[in-house]
Copies of this chain bind each other. A is one copy, B any other.
Amino acid sequence: MKYPTKLSDAAHILAFIALHPECDLTSGKLAESVQTNPAYVRQLMSAMRKGGLLLSVKGHPKPALAREPARISLLDIYRAVEGDKPLLHQDTHTNPACGVGMNIQLALQSFYMDIQQAAENRMRQITLRDILDQYHARVKESSK
């Protein structure tokens, strides 16, 4: 497992916080659920705090969402933890002296942006609220 899973882990953390508003959620407890280490959790939380998604205070374990789940989209989370990293990557290391290759890559660029837009539009529509709803549906289903 060395593919980037920051988005998954970050969403996991946010959902966990939303589901346990009363408890003391230490980075250790969150790390236990994600099965990672507390420092990594704090790194992700730090990124999300900077991204305006999370509120937390140094010293005591009471993280809280900065706004309601319906107003936190997957794209927001992605931006917070991955920045503007695209889903598809161009080869920026082609031969600059080859005009043909250069123009092929430039042509590709515009299409990659289209694909990125298509994915981002979908990510913008999916909110933490949706994820929580889906979570509850699954819990209900499995308890039947």
For the complex formed, measure the closest distance between the CB of A51 and the CB atoms of chain B, giving whole angstroms: 18
Decide yes or no: A111 and B16 within 8 Å by CB, A3-B89, A7-B88, A93-B1 being known contacts: no
Which of the candidate stretches A52-60, A64-72, A116-124 sits at the interface with the other chain? Answer: A116-124
> A132 to chain B: which residues have CB within 8 Å?
107
For the complex formed, measure the closest distance between the CB of A22 and the CB atoms of chain B, giving whole angstroms: 14
> A7 to chain B: which residues have CB within 8 Å?
88
> A9 to chain B: which residues have CB within 8 Å?
91
A74 close to B (CB within 8 Å): yes
For the complex formed, measure the closest distance between the CB of A107 and the CB atoms of chain B, giving whole angstroms: 4
State the 3 A-B residue pairs at the shortest beta-carbon distance, nearest first: A107-B134, A3-B89, A33-B101
